[in-house]
């Protein structure tokens, strides 16, 4: 028994110091007025009451929900469509798979820096090309109307993980099922609805949950490309927490925001798992 705890000790210590400790501390700080450079002062649920009147917080929720919805379309719907197109054999198919998956190996932070250079308003490559061919230049990430759609478009860069998961799921579907339903006269749409989607439902559930968790916690894209602007059009929830904690030194308020984010993600995940029992099909189980 002692030997087992000795082997587990590094993990237990790391979990306690870097996860459980900060978790408990943030819960305590969320009930205080803590300016970081001073001592925390207990103020009860004042930080949570303040959330109700904070327009920037409402804006950060709206931006995060829009990003999450679009991110799910990319990583759940579009990634599945691309995987179905690539579910075959041949050199061309292998090349397409490589081109789709390869960008996901590059860290999103580095990808955001690259996109920021391409679409920079003053010296970006895209505006240079537009100017050379006689078209008007654009504001891109410095434009209030274009910043969020372009930031969402960066999400295509990381589609490779969901694509690879779908591709593995598609290749694990027994061919006998397609043969049987084809003999019964089923067309492509019926094969998709009655075979492909039910057999892929656990993979769809996995990509949906992972997509929601990651998109709710998006930070690096907004921070690198726009710093939350212009006009808070890319002020994501986690970026708003960072701004309150490390730019305005309101650690107590930031801790309340972080706990609310945790509860929101946990609630969304719980609802998805609750609903999934009606549409997710596991092998050998109804």
Is pLDDT above 80 for 90? no
Supply the pLDDT for residue 25.
92
Neighbouring C-beta atoms of residue 182, cutoff 10 Å:
14
Paired tokens of 71: 């991110």
pTM (two decimals):
0.90
**42-50 average pLDDT score:** 93
pLDDT at 216 (0 to 100)? 95
CA atoms of 59 and 237, how far apart (whole Å): 9
In the structure encoding, which two tokens stand for residue 5, read together? 């705890």
Token pair in block for residue 232 = 């808070």
Per-residue confidence band for 284, with pLDDT thresholds at 50, 70 and 90: low
Q: Is 259 helix (H, G, I), strand (E, B) or coil?
A: helix
Q: Mean of the pLDDT values across residues 35-41?
A: 89
Angle of helix 108-118 relative to helix 125-132, nearest 10 degrees?
20
Output 200 or 37, whichever has higher pLDDT: 200
201/172 Cα distance (integer angstroms):
13
CA-based Rg of the chain, rounded to a whole angstrom? 23
Intra-chain end-to-end CA distance of the chain, in Å: 40
Average pLDDT of the residues of the chain: 89
Place of tokens 């189980």: 285
**Residue 47 and residue 30: Cα distance in Å, rounded?**
7
Judged against a pLDDT cut of 70, whether residue 37 lies above it is answered with yes
The distance of Cα 113 from the centroid of its chain, to the nearest Å, equals: 18
Continuous segment of H or E residues that includes residue 179: helix 175-183
Tens digit of pLDDT for each residue in 241-266?
999 999 999 999 999 999 999 999 99
Residues 84 and 106: their CA atoms lie apart, in Å, by 24
DSSP one-letter code for 205: H
Give the CA distances from residue 9 to residues 4, 5, 15, 244, in Å, rounded to whole numbers and listed in that order.
Answer: 9, 6, 10, 35
User: What class, spelled out in words, does domain 58-276 have in CATH?
Assistant: mainly alpha
pLDDT band at 285 (very low <50, low <70, confident <90, very high): low
| Domain regions of the chain by residue span | 58-276
With 0-12 CB in 10 A as exposed, 13-18 as middle and 19+ as buried, what is 206?
A: middle
Give residue 17's pLDDT: 86
pLDDT tier at 61, thresholds 50, 70, 90 = very high
DSSP run (H or E) holding 33? strand 32-33
């Amino acid at each position: 028994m002692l030997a087992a705890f000795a082997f587990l000790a590094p993990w237990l210590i790391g979990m306690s110091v870097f996860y459980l400790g900060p978790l408990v501390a943030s819960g305590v700080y969320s009930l205080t007025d803590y300016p970081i450079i001073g001592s925390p002062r207990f103020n009860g649920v004042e930080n949570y009451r303040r959330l109700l009147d904070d327009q920037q917080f409402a804006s950060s929720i709206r931006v995060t929900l829009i990003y999450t919805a679009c991110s799910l379309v990319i990583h759940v719907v579009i990634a599945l469509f691309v995987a179905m197109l690539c579910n075959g054999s041949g050199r061309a198919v292998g090349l397409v798979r490589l081109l789709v998956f390869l960008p996901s190996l590059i860290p999103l932070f580095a990808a955001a820096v690259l996109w920021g250079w391409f679409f920079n308003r003053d010296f970006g490559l895209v505006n240079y090309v537009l100017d050379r061919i006689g078209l008007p230049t654009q504001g891109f990430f410095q434009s209030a109307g274009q910043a969020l759609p372009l930031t969402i478009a960066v999400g295509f860069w990381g589609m490779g993980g969901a694509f690879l998961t779908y591709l593995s799921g598609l290749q694990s579907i027994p061919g006998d099922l397609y043969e049987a339903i084809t003999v019964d006269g089923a067309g492509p749409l019926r094969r998709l609805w009655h075979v492909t989607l039910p057999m892929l439902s656990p993979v769809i559930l996995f990509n949906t949950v992972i997509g929601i968790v990651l998109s709710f916690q998006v930070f690096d894209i907004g921070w690198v490309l726009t710093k939350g602007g212009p006009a808070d059009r890319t002020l994501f929830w986690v970026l708003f927490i960072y701004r309150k904690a490390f730019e305005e030194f309101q650690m107590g308020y930031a801790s309340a925001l972080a706990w609310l984010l945790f509860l929101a993600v946990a609630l969304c995940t719980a609802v998805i798992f609750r609903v999934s029992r009606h549409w997710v099909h596991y092998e050998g189980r109804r």
